[in-house]
Structure 1
C-alpha cells in the first residue's frame, strides 16, 4: 500500500501528479471547477508535472484539453495510448490488444457469460455490435459482430485495437469482472470503470500503472515522487504503484482498500484540496 506521513502528505518532494478524470478530477457534470483549474496551473508553475490518466479515448479529452499546461501529455484508454493534448489528442504511443487475443476473449465470454455484447475501440474510433448498449453512439461506427470487427480482413484491420469493451446485462459489474478474468485472463488485462457491467480489456500487462511507470522512467521520476488520485477499479494498479495515492471519498471499495490516504469527493474538488496542501508544504518558508 502506498505510503504517506501522518498528515496524509507524501514523505518526499512531489515531481508528478497523476490523476484519473471521471469521478476524480471531474465533477459529476463533467466540468472542471475553477478551484481545480487553479490548482493544476499552480502545480505546473511549481515544477510538478501533471498527467491525466484515464480510461477515456483521446477523442474524449476535450473536457480537459484547455486546462493542459507544460508537456501536454495524457495517458488514455487505460494505458493503451499516450496522447499529446497540445496537438488535438494526437496519439504518440500505442500499446495494442492484438486481434487474436481479443478474439479469444470474445469467444470465452460468449461461452461463460451468455448475452455479452462487444465494442472495439481502435485508434481511429469505436465500432460495436448491433445489441451493444447505446452508451456513446457514433455515426461513423461500423455496426457488426465483434468477430468481423476483429477480423484481419475487415477494412479497419490496419488500425491498432486500443481496447475491447464487453457488456453483460445479467451480471453485476464486479461479478462480471471476476468471471471474465477467470475465463480469459490469459489473453488480456481486464478492468472496469463504469457503474454498469461494462468491462474494458487491454493487452496483457497494459494498464494505467504500467504506462505511467514507463512515462516516469523516461523522465527520471521515481514512484516515490508521484502522487496519484482515483476512484474506480481501473485505477487500483496505478494507485498501488505510486508512492502516495489518494482515494476519493466516492471511491469503489477496491480503491479504498488499495490506498492509505483519502480526500473529499470529486464534487468537492478533492484533487485540488490535496494539491493545495502539497504546494503549501513544498513552498519555501517565508
Structure 2
C-alpha cells in the first residue's frame, strides 16, 4: 500500500520489551522521507512522547496526546483541546475515595501527583517524565481559578477495586466519559467525544493536504479501535486485544518482536 503518514500508538505497540524504541525501528524511520510525518497517538501527555520523537529524529513532527484530547502540530501549536469538565473531575475524585485507589490528574503539559508511592514511581519510570507534586485539593483550586478541566484522569489500584470503580463510573458517567481499561489495574479516563481518530483528523485537516485514507496506523488496545477502523490501513500487533485484531487490516508481530518495524520494512521493500 501507499501511505503519506504513519500514526502509531506507543505503549504495547511501538515500544519493545524494555519500553524503548528498537535500533531497527529508529534506523527505518530515519531512512524515510521527512515529508512522511510520524504521528504518535497515545494516552500519554506530550512530554512523555517528545523524547521518543527525538530518538526517532522526528522532533518537529506533530502528536495526538491524551487519546485525542490535545492535538499539537510540529511547532507545538494547539490545534484541539478537549477536557473533562471540572464538575466531572470532582465526581470521579469522590468515587476514588471509596477504595484504595491512586489518582493522577493531567492538563496540557502538567501531570499532577499528590504523593510518591508505588503507582507514581511506576509511571515516572515508564514515561520518563516527572510530575508536579501537589495535593489534589490544590489542583482543584488551581483549575477552578483558571476555569480548567482535565485532559486525562488515570486511576490505578488493585484489580478488584479498579473493576468496581469501572462499573460505577460507567453506570453514572458512561455517556460523558471514555473509560479505557488499559490494564487490570488501570483506568484511563477521557472525554466521550474525542478519540485518537478524531484527533488525527483534526491534525490532517489543519496541516496536511491528505486525509485518513492515506495513513497507516498501528495499535493494540481498545482506544486504538476507532483509529484502525478509519485510516487507510490499520495494523494490530500480535499482542493486541481480540477486538482490535478484529477491525485491523492485518496483524503484525508482537510489540516485543518489533511488529511496527516489521510491517513498515515489508511495505517499503515492496516499493523498490
Does the alignment pair 1:100 with 2:87? Answer: yes
TM-score (norm 1): 0.78
Contact kept in structure 2, 1:115 and 1:170, CA below 8 Å: no
Higher RCO (C-alpha 8 Å, min separation 6) = 1
TM-score normalised by structure 2 residue count: 0.81
Question: 2:110 corresponds to which residue?
Answer: 125
SS in 1 for 2:33: helix
Checking the alignment, whether the CA contact within 8 Å between 1:101 and 1:188 is kept in structure 2 is no
Match for residue 142 of structure 1 among 108, 129, 134: 134
Q: Which runs of 5+ in 1 are unaligned?
A: 1-9
CA RMSD of aligned residues (A): 3.0
Shift of 1:224: 1.9
Q: Provide the rounded CA distance (Å) in 2 between the counterparts of 1:235 and 1:153.
A: 29
SS in 2 for 1:56: coil
| Secondary structure, counterpart of 1:205 in structure 2 | coil
Q: Name structure 2 gaps, 5 residues minimum.
A: 125-129
Of Structure 1 and Structure 2, the greater helix share is in 2
User: What is the deviation of 1:70?
Assistant: 7.9
SS of residue paired to 2:251: strand
- The 5 A counterparts of 1:1-286 are 10=1, 13-45=2-34, 47-61=35-49, 62-69=51-58, 71-83=60-72, 90=76, 92-93=78-79, 94-107=81-94, 109-110=95-96, 114-129=99-114, 133-134=119-120, 135-136=122-123, 138=130, 140-144=132-136, 149-151=139-141, 157=146, 161-171=150-160, 177=166, 180-193=169-182, 195-218=183-206, 219-283=208-272
Task: Give the 4+ runs in structure 1 shifted more than 6 A.
Answer: 172-175
Change (3 A) 1:214 1:165: same
